[in-house]
Amino acid sequence: MNADKRRQIFERLQKANPHPKTELEYRTPFELLIAVMLSAQATDISVNAATRHLYPVANTPEALLELGEAKLTEYIQRIGLYKTKARHVIQTCRMLVELHNSQVPQTREALEALPGVGRKTANVILNTAFGHAAMAVDTHIFRISNRIGLAPGKNVLEVEHKLMKVIPKEFILDAHHWLILHGRYICRARTPKCAECLIYDLCEYKGKDD
């Protein structure tokens, strides 16, 4: 895919959705961090359903530590891998209190040192909470990047690096959200809605309209 096509793709996505945002509900960087940790292999809908009950009770590292792992599991038990996630959340809260003055760090290294936080989660926090140029490649973005020819790669890291290189700089801060939403609702895994796609004519997907 050439540079002109890529620019047109993001111009159209921007025009259709000038101010994209995550579908996870949060008010602070810490709430976003916990929500993203909980969202691994889970839907945003299920995470939001849990945090709507959890955050009024405990939405700071200190409050979650006081709540404890056992009580936390009661709030998130409908989310996949909830026992492991509860353990990681409590461990992360302890590290935030002891090492970061209860604040979410703003460097990739410090974020990835937190239990349950990998590169994708770190990139989401850097981009969404702090406005850094970072690209969190999830299954949607990986699929789209390969399917439409935007930034083909064999693994998520390769796709991430390519996207950071080829996306025009003026679109990079919002590109993560545009691509996720496009993959979630239009360019779906099994039945992409090509007839509803606003970048159909720019797409290089060979199976269009199959």
Which residues are annotated as catalytic?
120, 138
CB 102 within 8 A of CB 96: yes
Chain centroid, CA 60 distance in Å: 21
Distance CA(199)–CA(63), nearest Å, equals: 45
Joined together, the tokens standing for residue 72 give 């936390």
Calpha distance 185→207 (Å, rounded) = 18
Q: Which amino acid is at 79?
A: I
Question: What Å distances lie between residue 187 and 14, 44, 86, 143, 148, CA to CA?
Answer: 17, 18, 32, 9, 9
- Number of continuous H segments (helices) and E segments (strands) in the chain: 11, 0
For the purposes of burial, counting CB atoms within 10 Å of the CB of 56, is it exposed (0-12), middle (13-18) or buried (19 or more)? Answer: exposed
Q: How far apart are the C-alpha atoms of 72 and 85, rounded to whole Å?
A: 10
